[in-house]
Amino acid sequence: MPLPAVLPPALAALPMRHKVPPPEQLRAHILEGRSWPVALPVTFTPFASAQPCSARCVFCSETLRPHGSGRLSASLRPGPRYQEGLARALAALQGLPLGISLSGLESTDAPEWLLGVLDVLEAHERHPAGHVEEKVLYSNAAGLCAETSGGVLLPRLARYGLTRVEISRHHPEAPRNDGIMRFRPGQPVARQEVFEAAVHATRGHVPVRLVCIVQRTGVATPTDVVDYLRWAVERLGVTDVVFREFSRLHGLYQPNTTWRTIERDRVPIESLLEPLLPDGPGSDFEPVDVTRGYYYWNARLRWRGQCSVTFEASDYQDMKARHHSGVIHKFVFHANGNLCADWDPEREVLLRTA
């Protein structure tokens, strides 16, 4: 996503990190006899879809249906030879430095599936050419609670060497959050005390970053941002928070309830960031740097010297253009056995393992 045409003065002089390499720095990699240019850094996602998600977030991108698409990856379920296919896909990527991104639906809802995936990923790393640089789990914490699978999953994730868990919570108050995340009946993590205990327990094993998707019905103002940060630091002991805007959709997706919610409830990230930027000494927010990724940009600040705070915006039109460009920016292994350079399980297919 392009940066704003004019950066606020407090950001304009900051160091700029570029995550998209120039053409001469692309890495060539052979897949199925064809040489592909790969933009590094690149992440690999074993898309989690072993069962329906424990939450039904009103903005869930996995329910957006692109024009002309077939089955969504979220609707696919892994078969009995899934792990064999996953191992084959990773073997095809040996020699490339990968970031592991555990996302899709909720990975921790299916602990047996997740434990099996971790075993395959570790086997890949044990190979001399199995290079892994970063390992991130994206979670709503449903399976990290003591009441569910936390006692099994947290020690295992720590042994795996997880870089961090990015835990989603979109308002500090459980009723407001549940109006957004809509946990299924009986999910313990919907309760405030259970969620907070799960975050503390997770922090005892791996670093935690809190993720808040800003929206009209949740965190929508600069004051809301500060209230969320105070809760994160003082109640949860978390010192890393990201506020993300709904991705820009343009005309890529068929209008449905999710699409209408995103368009209706969008809060532009600049409307939160700019009022919080310092206009002199003594501000609670200290700008650190700006990053430009292949379909997103963000600004990182420090809040009261205690917490790293990132404000981020992204653009799915930019993402799709990159994915269809012939240069690989992303690897996704879908439950149908396809290794793709896109989130669609039948587009940009690089390898079929089933």
List residues bridging with 351 in a β-sheet. 339
Task: Over range 100-128, report the average pLDDT.
Answer: 99
Instruction: Give the structural domain span for 274.
Output: 38-352
Measure the CA–CA gap between 73 and 336, rounded to whole angstroms: 8
pLDDT value of position 280 = 64
* Domain presence at residue 240: yes
Collapsed DSSP state (helix, strand, coil) of residue 13 = coil
* Domain presence at residue 16: no
pLDDT tens track for 336-347: 999 999 999 999
* Domain presence at residue 13: no
* Domain presence at residue 21: no
At residue 5 the predicted structure's pLDDT band, cuts being 50, 70 and 90, is low
Whether 258 and 327 have beta carbons less than 8 Å apart is answered as no
Question: Cis (ω within 30 of 0) for the bond into 15?
Answer: no
Measure the CA–CA gap between 262 and 256, rounded to whole angstroms: 10
pLDDT value of position 283 = 87
Report the CATH number that the domain containing residue 122 is assigned in CATH.
3.20.20.70
> What's the total number of domains in the chain?
1
* Domain presence at residue 49: yes
pLDDT value of position 13 = 83
Which residues have C-beta within 8 Å of that of residue 20, sequence separation ≥ 6?
39, 292, 293, 294
Nearest to residue 139, comparing CAs of 79, 89, 202, 194? 202
pLDDT tens track for 7-59: 778 888 889 999 899 999 999 999 999 999 999 999 999 999 999 999 999 99
pTM score: 0.96
* Domain presence at residue 111: yes
pLDDT value of position 12 = 84
pLDDT value of position 10 = 80
pLDDT tens track for 77-98: 999 999 999 999 999 999 999 9
Does position 150 have pLDDT exceeding 60, yes or no? yes
Q: Which helix (H) or strand (E) holds 180?
A: helix 174-181
**What is the chain's percent helix, strand, coil content, to nearest 5?**
30, 25, 40
List residues bridging with 208 in a β-sheet. 165
* Domain presence at residue 102: yes
* Domain presence at residue 165: yes
